[in-house]
Amino acid sequence: MLKRTITIGVVLAAFMFLSTILFAPAAQAIEWGAMSASPDISPFYVNRYGGDSFTLTVEYQEFFFQYFPVWAQIEVVKSPSWLTVTPTQKTFPLDARTNARKDVKVNLALSEQDVEAPSLSSVTIQVTGRIVLGGELREVALAETDILVGVNPFTQITVSIAKPIERSSPDKELTFPVTIENWGTAQTRVTLSATDVPDDWTDPIISPQQIILDAKKPGDPNPPEKTVSFTVTTPHGTGISYHNDRETFLLQAHAQSFADYWVKEGNQFQKSSKDPENVKQATVYARMMVKNRGFYVPGFEAVILIGALAALAFVIRRRRSN
């Protein structure tokens, strides 16, 4: 009799417990478990061209006994406008008894190229869990995680000359105004030099030889720019002479951004010890031509010398005639 009474009591208690779970109001849903999510890398640096991914570990922790799987869902609730964040698998089941954890790849790529580096922005990912049976009465605590995302620097400058072909005459100075624009994503130093200088011409004068340009502001159609002068002096020869030649000059502009470049090594990013060409460095060339045409007449000292020699020759001739 006692055993029967105890058995009935246990059955009634179990019935009341299950009834509470199944028929209680939704506002009083029992917290049956919790989700967790953790990225393997933060901060994460994205290259301007090409994408990469990090691993998001999603795990379900049960608070009570489990007989049915939980459906997990990954949702990106906040990200900057210039970034595309795509989980490779958005929904999947998790079983607390056999498989309560899953690693999901999350792809990152730039959706806009006009981004200033290396400022960091936050990406928020939310993971929710839904119980297959009785989910209205039993809830799973959601999880949120933040990942800092930055952009690796991209260096890009343009060199423009308003009038790349100029006319001049012998022994004259000629200056080309040269405009340098920074279309890159970071503050940049530009070093200028002249190459392919003709043998009979003196080295051009570039002023200044080095400039610093701020990063282009996102959305601004006018990039930061500065103007330098490229001055050449036409040759004069050794005496009175006529010139009719064309010579070209090559201006080299080497740009290097100040921002750090980050490379992925395992599950973290390290500052690169190298400056990749066309990423943190870039070299641009511009050509200009000088048409040198006209007579060269020696300077005032040469004229005096020629006059003195002529006078001396005249005096000698008179003495011989006498």
List domains and CATH numbers for the chain. Answer: 28-151 (2.60.40.10), 157-302 (2.60.40.2310)
Q: 268-271 and 262-265: which strand pairing?
A: antiparallel
Residue 17 has pLDDT above 60, yes or no: no
The pLDDT assigned to 67 comes to 63
The terminus-to-terminus CA distance of the chain in angstroms comes to 170
The pLDDT assigned to 119 comes to 79
pTM score over 0.75:
no
Yes or no: say if 204 and 232 are a contact pair by the CB < 8 Å rule: yes
Q: How confident is the model at residue 140 (pLDDT cuts 50, 70, 90)?
A: confident
The pLDDT assigned to 9 comes to 47
Q: How confident is the model at residue 237 (pLDDT cuts 50, 70, 90)?
A: low
CA–CA gap between residue 136 and residue 147 (Å, rounded) = 31
pLDDT single digits (tens) 175-220: 999 999 999 999 999 999 998 888 778 889 999 999 999 999 988 9
Q: Comparing C-alpha atoms, which of 207, 173, 205 is closest to residue 290?
A: 173
The pLDDT assigned to 267 comes to 83
Please tell me the least confidently modeled range out of 10-14, 29-33, 149-153: 10-14
Q: Comparing C-alpha atoms, which of 175, 166, 238, 235 is closest to residue 199?
A: 235
Better-predicted residue by pLDDT, 311 or 40: 40
Better-predicted residue by pLDDT, 298 or 97: 97
Yes or no: say if 172 and 233 are a contact pair by the CB < 8 Å rule: yes
The two tokens of residue 298 are 């020696």
Count the neighbouring beta carbons within 10 Å of the beta carbon of residue 246.
Answer: 11
